[in-house]
Structure 1
Amino acid sequence: VLNALQNACAALSLERRNLVIVSGIGCSSDLPHFMSAYGIHTLHGRALPVAQGIKLANKDLTVVVTGGDGDGYGIGAGHFLHALRRNLDLTYIVMDNRIYGLTTGQASPTSDRGHKTKSTPSGNPECALNPLALAVVGGATFVGRGFSGEPVHLADVLKRAIAHKGFSLVDVFSPCVTWNKVNTYEWFRPRVVKMETEGHNPADREAAIRQALREDKLPIGVIYEIDEPTFTEEEPSLQGEPLVKSKIGLTDEEWKGLMEEFS
């Protein structure tokens, strides 16, 4: 995933001084430390609100958020839902290994029902969360999926996600070779199918939902993409130059008028 992201950023000719990588907590959240760009390693499940704050303060920055399925779809799920509908222009990459890896192998929100883990020794009693379906119906304007076993294809998906104007989710099958002995590279390879070979129209919302709900195969590629106004384009206070470049406070004339009005 790191290699694919680096290649995507290079292909888009992104300048390091204009790129910010934000992460939460987990194995995948160490990624900003390996990118030659600005980065911030935040609290568990709180990467999205921090990233949105950065984008609101300086809309000229390219903001990429990285995390795992536990961080993003578990403790961070509330932030995820509202980020979908808010449609700020940022990219959220979730490295989904269907397990809590940093804490040595507990069931995560995307673990399959029946999966035996340290926290579910008799098998996971809960159904798995479907991030693609959730993102499509929740308001995301770009929904994609990749597989770390297909790095070239993944880089192309990431490139399209970053170039897209609006909230982009890229869920990445990223097997945990240490703690998940079920959903391995060998398990994923025969199950993934590239959308480019399926004749899929990513602008068709109903078709995107059908792909997200497929049980015969696991789709990878661009699942859904539409053009909608972003939050920064819609919010009046964010028009013009970025907030970070705006003068904060009152002018001498405004201050004098305020004092006269209330004195």
Structure 2
Amino acid sequence: MASPRDYKNTIVPNWCPGCGDYGIQNAISAVCAKKGWANEDITLISGIGCSSRIGGYQYCYGAHTTHGRALPFAQGIKCANKDQHMIVCSGDGDSYAIGLGHAMHAIKRNMDITYLVFDNQVYGLTKGQTSPASDKGFVTKTTPDGNPLTPLDAPAMALAAGATFVAQAYAIDSKTMINVIERAVDHKGFSYVNIFTPCVTFNHLNTVQWYNEHLVKMEDVAPDHDPSSKAAAYRLLGETNSLVTGVIYEEKDSVAFGDIVPSKDVRLIDHVEKPSAELFEDLCKEFR
């Protein structure tokens, strides 16, 4: 039986002690273990930022790409390797600033990809600047007098772009997060999951205490919520100021891009002599 440890390599993550990204990595590994996926059947693509370091810590295929461009890389790989379990990890700065245009078209395209956004509401890797998700009034190095802008309502935007799966989770609430990610990878089509994760070093506004006081679980505020209703999803986000965790919307009859637009399944791995599992082990030896 697979263990979550089987999906982590031996590189020690260099996230700050107390960072919520550790919890997200544990959740991803736990879901992979529950599914019993072979390591060589998983691809994890990341962009640039604290969140995107995860690509070097997971034991699977992947690429640590350029700022805001994780989704174009992932879509190209998915087109050529349709059976791969594709997970994309990105941060709120990576996803909602330089990468926003790519995100909108990827959502609209509805490829079978799970998109996990590590939302700490600040630029952490570059040492604490305001991000598109930062709260109004948030004081940072780039907004010393307080952020004058309202934060981007990303889940509502994803709904408007045509996302067939929209959910949110909290990095400290592992039970809900694992459930949400598992439902996301089971969804046929583009799964968008915004995960609130505290940045203990540069965000002293949206702390663990702040999240505990402001985030609400769907089962507590809307136990009868119908995730198949887009109108209900918008209403739920409006009533909770988009600070709700759980599956907000899921289109049950979603048809993924690969089932609509046929393309040759190239599978570059099949053009080598070694079986894929053996090749994968050879490529990853230095990390084990």
TM-score after normalising by structure 2: 0.82
Q: Is the 8 A contact 1:130 1:212 kept in 2?
A: no
Deviations 1:87-133 (A, max 9, x none): 00000000001000011111000011111111001111112111100
Say whether residues 1:115 and 2:115 are aligned partners: no
| Equivalent position amino acid for 1:222 in 2 | V
Q: 1:246 to 1:47 in 2, by over 3 A?
A: closer
Q: Take 1:14 and 1:224, find their aligned partners in 2: how far apart are those partners? A: 26
Q: How many residues align?
A: 245
The match for 2:180 among 141, 157, 173 is 157
Aligned twin of 1:12:
35
Deviation at 1:244, TM superposition (A): 2.5
Say whether residues 1:209 and 2:234 are aligned partners: yes
SS at match of 1:140: coil
Deviations 1:145-172 (A, max 9, x none): 0001101210110010011110001100
Q: Is the 8 A contact 1:191 1:217 kept in 2?
A: no
| Equivalent position amino acid for 2:182 in 1 | K
Deviation at 1:196, TM superposition (A): 2.8
| Structure 2: segments with no counterpart, 5+ residues | 1-23, 272-288
Say whether residues 1:79 and 2:102 are aligned partners: yes
Aligned twin of 1:106:
129
Q: Take 2:128 and 2:119, find their aligned partners in 1: how far apart are those partners? A: 13
Aligned twin of 2:154:
131
Q: Is the 8 A contact 2:166 2:248 kept in 1?
A: yes
**Identity of paired residues, percent?**
46
How do 1:45-60 and structure 2 match up within 5 A?
A: 45-60=68-83
Say whether residues 1:235 and 2:258 are aligned partners: no
Q: Take 1:217 and 1:46, find their aligned partners in 2: how far apart are those partners? A: 26
SS at match of 2:76: helix
CA RMSD of aligned residues (A): 1.7
Q: Take 1:144 and 1:235, find their aligned partners in 2: how far apart are those partners? A: 26
| Structure 1: segments with no counterpart, 5+ residues | 249-263
Structure with greater Cα Rg:
1
Q: 1:49 to 1:93 in 2, by over 3 A?
A: same
The match for 1:195 among 218, 236, 260 is 218
Q: Take 1:70 and 1:86, find their aligned partners in 2: how far apart are those partners? A: 22
Aligned twin of 1:185:
208
Deviation at 1:243, TM superposition (A): 2.7
Q: Take 1:143 and 1:157, find their aligned partners in 2: how far apart are those partners? A: 10
Q: Is the 8 A contact 2:153 2:242 kept in 1?
A: no
Q: Take 1:99 and 1:34, find their aligned partners in 2: how far apart are those partners? A: 22
SS at match of 1:111: coil
Deviation at 1:30, TM superposition (A): 0.6
Deviation at 1:216, TM superposition (A): 5.8
Aligned twin of 1:253:
none
Q: Is the 8 A contact 2:155 2:242 kept in 1?
A: no
Divergent runs of 4+, >6 A: 245-248
Deviation at 1:214, TM superposition (A): 3.2
Deviation at 1:15, TM superposition (A): 1.4
SS at match of 2:56: helix
